[in-house]
Amino acid sequence: MSNWRLNFYIECKSKCRDNSRHFIFAQILIMIAELFNQLARSRRSVFPDQFEAGKKVDDAIIKEILTNATWAPNHGKTEPWQFTVFSGEGLNKLAAFQSELYKELAGDSFKELTYTKLQQNPLKASHIVAIGMKRTTNKNIPEVEDIEAVACAVQNMYLSVTAYGLGGYWTTGGVTYKEEAKSFFGLGELDKLLGFFYIGYIAIPSKGATRLPLEEKVNWIKE
């Protein structure tokens, strides 16, 4: 038994009056922790071309995913997230809106390929969640903290779709940061559109990923 498992087992034993149960209790908690480790480390972005065309995710699952998103940490209990869910014919409405707005605003930088992707990519997903940040009226809370809270909510969405065996993809391209796009998603002047989260069944799995060694990203200060 590794050190952390042994220490955890001893702690559970000290808290459990019934010695016949503490071992099972500790084992269950260890299993949950290890499953979460695997879940967090196996999360991948799954892009629209990797989705199984035409296969729809049940709305009940989408509601569970969004409920998990709303349990993200947020300073002052502001819950600044605002989600707009597109599915069915709603995907066509989103595709038409974002492609035409891009065409209207692009000017000399207009690219036909970008326009086509904005038209076609939404139709490859089962559901798309527009991710909005509703600015809190509490001015003691900096705007960046509302944004950070929404980002935490999106991470919960990522982990949730992974747990359900689905693919997810957070994109901030297209019309994401355009002021002219806000009203379409029910956002006001002080609010922000932070992108779109695509959800679908996986036809082509994403490749494995790597991370830099923990030692390159973490400093320990113990004295």
Q: What is the pLDDT of residue 24?
A: 75
Q: Is 15 in the same domain as 64?
A: no
What is the C-alpha to C-alpha distance for residues 119 and 114, in angstroms, rounded to an integer?
Answer: 9
Q: Which of 131, 134, 136 is nearest to 75 (CA)?
A: 136
Q: Is 142 in the same domain as 36?
A: no
Q: What is the pLDDT of residues 135-194, one digit of tens each?
A: 998 889 999 999 999 999 999 999 999 999 999 999 999 999 999 999 999 999 999 999
Band the pLDDT of 14: cuts 50, 70, 90: low
Indicate whether 11 belongs to any domain: yes
Q: Which of 145, 13, 157, 171 is nearest to 74 (CA)?
A: 145
Q: Is 72 in the same domain as 147?
A: yes
Judged by phi (left if over 0) then psi (alpha if -120 to 50, else beta), residue 173 lies in beta
Q: What is the pLDDT of residue 31?
A: 87
Q: Is 33 in the same domain as 119?
A: no
CB 126 within 8 A of CB 51: yes
Indicate whether 209 belongs to any domain: no
pTM of the model: 0.89
Q: Is 135 in the same domain as 110?
A: yes
Neighbour tally for 222: CB within 10 Å: 3
CA Rg, the chain, in Å?
21
Q: Is 24 in the same domain as 79?
A: no
| Confidence check: pLDDT of 70 > 60 | yes
CB 69 within 8 A of CB 83: yes
Beta strands in 76-164, from DSSP E residues, in sequence order:
81-87, 127-133
Q: How many domains does the chain have?
A: 2
Q: Is 65 in the same domain as 157?
A: yes
Q: What is the pLDDT of residue 27?
A: 78
**Structure tokens given for 48:** 């629209």
Q: What is the pLDDT of residue 16?
A: 60
What is the C-alpha to C-alpha distance for residues 40 and 30, in angstroms, rounded to an integer?
Answer: 15
3-state secondary structure of 179: helix
Q: What is the pLDDT of residues 27-69, one digit of tens each?
A: 788 888 899 999 999 999 999 999 999 999 999 999 999 999 9
CB 157 within 8 A of CB 68: yes
Q: What is the pLDDT of residue 179?
A: 97
Band the pLDDT of 3: cuts 50, 70, 90: low
Q: Which domain holds residue 8?
A: 3-42
| Confidence check: pLDDT of 197 > 80 | yes
Indicate whether 221 belongs to any domain: no
Q: What is the pLDDT of residue 13?
A: 59
What is the C-alpha to C-alpha distance for residues 176 and 130, in angstroms, rounded to an integer?
Answer: 9
Q: Is 35 in the same domain as 142?
A: no
CB 45 within 8 A of CB 171: no
Q: What is the pLDDT of residue 152?
A: 98
What is the C-alpha to C-alpha distance for residues 139 and 72, in angstroms, rounded to an integer?
Answer: 21
Indicate whether 52 belongs to any domain: yes
**Structure tokens given for 74:** 């947020």
Indicate whether 95 belongs to any domain: yes
CB 55 within 8 A of CB 201: yes
How confident is the prediction for the chain on average, in pLDDT?
92
Neighbour tally for 82: CB within 10 Å: 19
Q: What is the pLDDT of residue 11?
A: 64
CATH of the domain at 144: 3.40.109.10
Indicate whether 191 belongs to any domain: yes
Q: What percent of the chain has pLDDT over 90?
A: 83
Q: What is the pLDDT of residue 6?
A: 60
CB 1 within 8 A of CB 30: no
| Confidence check: pLDDT of 18 > 70 | no
For residues 69-96, give the mean pLDDT: 97
